[in-house]
């Protein structure tokens, strides 16, 4: 649906299924994009998963490996500089078993509120713009001060 919307608006887009936790998938993804659209000059990696909360001693190795591979290794394979988001109102919290998590923890954030996806998007757009041309290998924390 996203590819169709981009194409209808006059842009070029393609969808490539890939698991960012699998190095060969990431390599195939970049090769496909390079071939179909040209070299990647900017990338926003928005991969991340949560699972139902539980005590650490109740977690099995497969769960830990899956989360680590997606959230840490996948991000490392795809990123050089990044926006690190804090507690953002998104559906990811529901997949972790706590859809209202941001509401529960927002008082621990210095700004006393959760963030919104658009606030993260603005930081990403700045990084992709000429205004950030001298920034590299850095992180922007969009975390409300946490």
pLDDT in tens, the chain (146 residues): 999 999 999 999 999 998 888 889 989 999 999 999 999 887 777 777 778 888 889 989 988 888 877 776 656 555 545 888 999 999 888 888 889 999 999 999 999 999 999 999 999 899 889 999 998 877 889 999 99
One-character DSSP codes across the chain? -HHHHHHHTT---------TTSHHHHHHHHHHHHHHH------------------GGG--HHHHHHHHIIIIIHHHHH-SSEEEE-SB-STHHHHTT-TTHHHHHGGGSTTSS-B-HHHHHHHHHHHHSGGGTT--S-EEEESTT-
pTM (2 decimals)?
Answer: 0.71
């Amino acid at each position: 649906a996203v590819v169709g919307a981009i194409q209808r608006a006059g842009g070029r887009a393609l969808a490539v299924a890939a698991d960012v936790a699998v190095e060969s998938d990431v390599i195939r993804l970049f090769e496909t994009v390079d071939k179909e659209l040209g070299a990647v000059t900017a990338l926003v990696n928005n991969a991340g998963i949560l699972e139902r909360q539980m005590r650490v001693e109740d977690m099995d190795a497969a769960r830990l490996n899956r989360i680590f591979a997606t959230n840490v290794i996948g991000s490392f394979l795809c990123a050089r500089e990044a926006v690190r988001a804090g507690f953002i109102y998104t559906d990811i919290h529901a997949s972790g078993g706590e859809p209202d998590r941001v509401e529960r923890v927002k008082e621990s954030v210095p700004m006393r509120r959760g963030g919104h996806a658009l606030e993260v998007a603005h930081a990403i757009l700045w990084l992709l713009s000429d205004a950030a041309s001298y920034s590299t290998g850095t992180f922007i924390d969009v975390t409300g001060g946490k």
